[in-house]
Amino acid sequence: MSRLENHTYDELECGQQANIQHSVSEQDLQLFAAVSGDVNPVHLDEAFAAATPFKGRIAHGMFSGALISAAIACELPGPGTIYIGQELSFLRPVRLGDSLRVELEILEKLPKNRVKIATRVFNQDNKQVVDGFATVMAPSEKVSIARPARPQARVD
């Protein structure tokens, strides 16, 4: 069984990196719409989306933000991290079937266990789709726990 292990504030170093990958599926868009309440047809209705400048459906911008949150929570710094803030710029649309790579990089260690992290997302063509940075409170105590099973969800 895999484990979740964090990096404490004292262990973090500027330049330290981590990444996760995720392929965007129909279920992702449906579940994100259900949870967030964002039912903008550009995300859910192909005919509507085809008439937009995107020429087809795109993922919710904050879906990429949620993937960044997952990378921070599970990889760097990991379990016990508390989000303080996030700035995001959406550079390109994310489409169904895109394979996304979320890259994190420690930019700066701040007082009171705060850390500034570069948050970047790239598609399968290595084109950057999101750029930003997060400010988090890194954990002060080491944690190593069994990775919880990902909940199984379905869209009715």
Q: What is the pLDDT of residues 104-121, one digit of tens each?
A: 999 999 999 999 999 999
Q: Is residue 148 part of a domain?
A: no
Tens digits of per-residue pLDDT, 40-72?
Answer: 999 999 999 999 999 999 999 999 999 999 999
Q: Is residue 75 part of a domain?
A: yes
Q: Is residue 119 part of a domain?
A: yes
Q: Is residue 54 part of a domain?
A: yes
**Structure tokens, 12:** 């973090």
Q: Is residue 53 part of a domain?
A: yes
Q: Is residue 71 part of a domain?
A: yes
Residue 126 is given by DSSP the state: S
Query: Across all residues in the chain, what is the average pLDDT?
Result: 96
Q: What is the CATH number of the domain that holds 60?
A: 3.10.129.10
Quote the CA–CA distance of 131 and 135 in Å, as a whole number. Answer: 14
Q: Is residue 27 part of a domain?
A: yes
Range of the domain at 101: 3-143
Q: In whole angstroms, how large is the CA radius of gyration of the chain?
A: 17
Q: Residue 152: what pLDDT?
A: 84
Quote the CA–CA distance of 58 and 129 in Å, as a whole number. Answer: 12
Distances (CA, A) of 105 to 57, 120, 132, 138, 149: 30, 9, 11, 14, 26
The total of structural domains in the chain comes to: 1
Assign 155 a pLDDT band (cuts: 50, 70, 90): low
Tens digits of per-residue pLDDT, 65-99?
Answer: 999 999 999 999 999 999 999 999 999 999 999 99
Q: Is residue 133 part of a domain?
A: yes
Quote the CA–CA distance of 3 and 14 in Å, as a whole number. Answer: 24
In percent, the amount of the chain with pLDDT more than 90 equals 95
Q: Residue 156: what pLDDT?
A: 64
Quote the CA–CA distance of 103 and 122 in Å, as a whole number. Answer: 8
Quote the CA–CA distance of 105 and 76 in Å, as a whole number. Answer: 8
